[in-house]
Each structure stands twice: as C-alpha cells, then as structure tokens.
Amino acid sequence: MSEFSGEIWFLASCVELYKTEKKMSGQDAFNYLRRTGAANFIIDCWDGLHMTSPPYIIDSIDEYIANHAEKSTA
C-alpha cells in the first residue's frame, strides 16, 4: 500500500464535498482544485484537516483559493 493512500482518499472525499457544495461535477471540481493549487493544499494538510467538519474543510479550501491561488487564466 502506498504511503500516500490516506492523503489520496482524503482528497477524493474533499472533491466529493466540494462538488456537492458548489454544485459542480466531480471532474470539474477536481480540475478546479488542481488548477488553483487547492488539491496540493488538501494533500499537504490532510492530517489536520481530516479530523475537522465538512463545513470547516470547505471554508479552508475556499480561504486557501482566495489567498493563494494563481490569478492566471493560462
């Protein structure tokens, strides 16, 4: 089993949470989180985030995107 299995499962669950909250498809949510850098944020912070509530996770992702996402359209 990969050392990243917990992080990957958590990322997948966050994509599911995010797509439901933002009324997006799963593919669109994943692409958005990847493009904004939030997917890496989720993986990097998974050990702290996975013990919190879904609303806190969504708020943390949105805050990360607002403060750190590249403003590039490329």
- Summarised one tens digit per residue, pLDDT across range 29-67 is 999 999 999 999 999 998 899 899 999 999 999 999 999
For the chain, the domain total comes to: 1
Per the CB < 8 A criterion, the answer to whether 61 and 30 are in contact is: no
Could you list the residue range(s) of the whole structural domain that residue 32 is in? Answer: 5-68
- The answer to whether 31 touches 40, Cβ cutoff 8 Å, is no
Q: Is residue 49 part of a domain?
A: yes
**3-class SS of residue 12:** helix
Is residue 41 included in any domain, yes or no?
yes
Does residue 64 belong to any structural domain of this protein? Answer: yes
Calculate the CA dihedral of residues 14, 16, 21, 26 and round it to 10 degrees. 120
More confident residue, 6 or 2: 6
Q: What is the pTM of this model?
A: 0.83
In this structure, the number of other CB atoms found within 10 A of the CB of residue 19 comes to 18
pLDDT of residue 73: 39
Say whether 36 sits in a helix, a strand or coil. Answer: helix
